[in-house]
A and B are shown apart, each in its own frame.
Chain A
């Protein structure tokens, strides 16, 4: 394969844009063409967020076609299910096993899907679904805001880029006082996937 199309999704405020920016920078530093685009809606926070990252020797459209994504990285599981149709058949889904119920659910106007329903939606596209307890891991690390770097650690195992380039890019994008804990979250994400993989 000569292309890699990634969907990164979650709820506003989870750090999705930063995570997908870092993926893009790592891909450039590794010698590829990259296009990246975010669908953010209108508010600063809270809404559904989707980043498209496309990596290949030459990329035209910044948007990924429905059913063509190679990797789906979801920082929230409802959002993972929502964007599942953009994953290609047999692609890889990495989903943080954590629910952020939308307001309509809290108000009793709609129902948050069960884990089984979410898994079924993802399984329609692929058998390669990784449910990861990312939120628990970063809580243990002591900073819930490092979830995006933990999830980057997970997805990095499926991408052919040197680990040093990842770390370099993460270090450059974060202020010095937050570098160490975010790099630790990234490492922990890598270990977590290695643990289930081998």
Chain B
């Protein structure tokens, strides 16, 4: 079956030849790494963020530079306010978050637009078309219009790096925060970046200048700021006409494409002959440039991901443009999708070429809780106390479990089925309270992680205590922000830059709020989990169970793996209900994949097995 393949039949020619010194300036960077480096070279002195895919690596990258201050803030609103304060104090500041993070931060973001800045303030929103790792596909370009601020959209890592210098200059020149909007495909793709600059040494000392009309938003002052914001938009629109951020690339005049971000890269590939107006600044838009481009092409189309943001703006200017009639507004775009639309719309000649044939349906491989995950045990207990696996219909479930955002949202999947709601950060606690107050006849359990609790669970808990709630709250304390890749948070006692920090302790915090029934239990002790949860559920007043156990990915030393003694095992499948991916079945035989098992640090399956068939590997053979 093997065919002799000539070694070098690919890549016959190299087009760019370069010297060694040039290779050192060329780096393969992700969009996020490039944004961080661009900001650092633009003289940023303070950076703040809360982790969220696909934005997390921006702060992680910039935190490595020792001559700046970088922090993980408790949440995005706090990050935005820290950034605004730093900008008022006269230093260039970066704040970054995922698209839904900007919802949390929208209050101070709007305020920042109203007051304007002192030193440059750049806000990065990393959107997630396709909802790879989000609760929705929200298009944050609308925020630029809502907040009346300029917006830049890089289309690869080189632009992510280059645009940061423009963003900080714009912010200071026009006295405004600047929104830099990326998407997953920009933030997480890697491409070649030529490092053209080096660190601009921040000039001047931090200083705050008293200016009550600018910084104190009493209604009387806010009304004075509004006309300045409108004037600012007009000036920004003038700037947009001539900025090098917006580029015309002339091809043939039959087809003119207006586009931005990664959609530009796809469109360049699909329409190699077309003319392009590539917008690096997508708010406010350059009316004259758009009109002039439109008048010089026969057919004007708009290629953009998600909402028809550019298209509607063009139509509002009276420029006729087609786009969303053919390009889907759902999900992430790809060259395939654009090519197919191009053939349907007649932008490309002929019919869409035959693609590779479809293949038979294959088993899916969804993300799972890791082997040794401290969430598995408590979810198994919730699932069994709530009769999840045994109930004939979901109406027979005994508990209602409101969930939250984190790895533990995966507890909603089979076989655990231990989650009924998940809306947004912090919602589990307040939603449980709302359901209880609505009068449902089932016990309410809210489940939230440590980082999410500190992010926005605390206020919900205060509400529950104040309003005599009777819910049970489970805080899953794995000592890290696991889902986004193990970032520190106020409960870990370590800063974003790896320095020792004051640790916020969950137990006294919860007690201080006024919760009387607080218990702390090991995540890997099934009996204790069951009894703590039972007694919390039996208590008519609000109770909190803190389930503590380190994230298994972070446990440096694995113990001796567990194994199943096959002569004792009767294939009842109880251990499989844990949903541990180390426990596998081939035919009838159930076994534990030793390379995946974390060993005695977990051993939850060993406690679960009704026939005591699971034990340390050395004793099971």
Contact = CB atoms under 8 A, between A and B. Distances in A.
Interface of A: 1-4, 11-12, 21, 24-25, 28-48, 55-63, 65-67, 70, 78-79, 81-82, 84-87, 89, 92, 101-113, 117, 121, 124-125, 127-130, 144, 157-160, 196-198
Nearest to B16: A31
A70 B189 CA distance: 20
Nearest to B8: A160
Given A44-B553, A70-B10, A102 B189 contact: no
A41 B2 contact: no
A63 B410 CA distance: 28
A60 B14 contact: no
Given A36-B190, A37-B185, A42 B367 contact: yes
Interface string B356-375: 11111011111111100000
Contacts of A39: 132
Nearest to B584: A106
Contacts of A112: 363
Contact of A105 (B485, B583, B585): B585
Contacts of B328: none
A2 B190 contact: no
Interface residues of B, number: 72
Given A36-B190, A127-B3, A11 B365 contact: yes
Nearest to A24: B28
B532 interface: no
B190 A21 contact: yes
Contact of B367 (A36, A45, A106): A45
Contact of A47 (B191, B358, B367, B595): B367
Contacts of A34: 28, 190-192
B5 A92 contact: yes
Given A39-B132, A86-B356, 4 more contacts: A31-B17, A35-B189, A44-B370, A101-B363
The 8 A-B pairs with the shortest beta carbon distances in the complex, nearest first, are A43-B367, A57-B15, A47-B367, A110-B363, A37-B189, A85-B356, A67-B356, A46-B368
B211 to A, nearest CB: 45
Interface of B: 1-5, 7-18, 23, 26-28, 53, 132-133, 156, 185, 188-192, 262, 265-266, 268-269, 334-336, 339, 355-360, 362-370, 407, 410, 414-415, 482-483, 485, 553, 576, 579, 581, 583-586, 590, 595
Given A28-B28, A84-B359, A43 B368 contact: yes
A159 B356 contact: no
A113 B2 CA distance: 22
Contacts of A63: 185, 266, 334-335
Nearest to B156: A35
A113 B266 contact: no
B192 to A, nearest CB: 6
Given A32-B14, A102-B363, A196 B595 contact: no
Contacts of B355: 66-67, 85
A159 B7 CA distance: 7
B87 to A, nearest CB: 33
Contact of A125 (B268, B356, B367, B590): B356
Contact of B14 (A21, A57, A81, A109): A57
13 contacts: A25-B28, A37-B190, A41-B366, A48-B364, A59-B191, A60-B269, A67-B356, A102-B364, A106-B583, A107-B576, A121-B359, A124-B356, A197-B4
A90 to B, nearest CB: 10
Nearest to B580: A103
Contacts of A47: 365-368
The residue among A24, A61, A111 with the most chain B CB atoms within 10 A of its own CB is: A61
A72 to B, nearest CB: 12
B190 A103 contact: no
Contacts of B335: 61, 63, 65
B14 A62 contact: no
Contacts of B27: 28
A42 B405 CA distance: 11
A144 B561 CA distance: 16
The residue among A82, A103, A109, A113 with the most chain B CB atoms within 10 A of its own CB is: A103
B11 A55 contact: yes
A61 B188 CA distance: 13
A92 B27 CA distance: 28
Contact of B336 (A43, A66, A160): A66
B359 A124 contact: yes
A65 B337 CA distance: 9
Given A104-B364, A159-B10, A197 B415 contact: no
Nearest to B131: A42
A31 B360 CA distance: 40
A66 B190 contact: no
A61 B189 CA distance: 10
Given A44-B482, A62-B185, A85 B357 contact: yes
Contacts of A60: 265-266, 268-269
A160 B10 contact: yes
A31 B586 CA distance: 47
A39 to B, nearest CB: 7
Contacts of A43: 367-370, 407, 410, 483
B189 A62 contact: yes
B222 to A, nearest CB: 40
A179 B358 CA distance: 41
Contact of B2 (A48, A78, A130): A130
Contacts of A127: 1, 3
Nearest to A84: B359
Given A30-B14, A35-B189, A57-B16, A103 B581 contact: yes
A62 B192 CA distance: 12
A45 B554 CA distance: 13
B15 A129 contact: no
A102 B415 CA distance: 13
The residue among A28, A41, A42 with the most chain B CB atoms within 10 A of its own CB is: A42
A46 B367 contact: yes
The residue among B16, B362, B365 with the most chain A CB atoms within 10 A of its own CB is: B365
Nearest to B53: A42
B11 A62 contact: no
Contacts of A32: 11, 14, 16
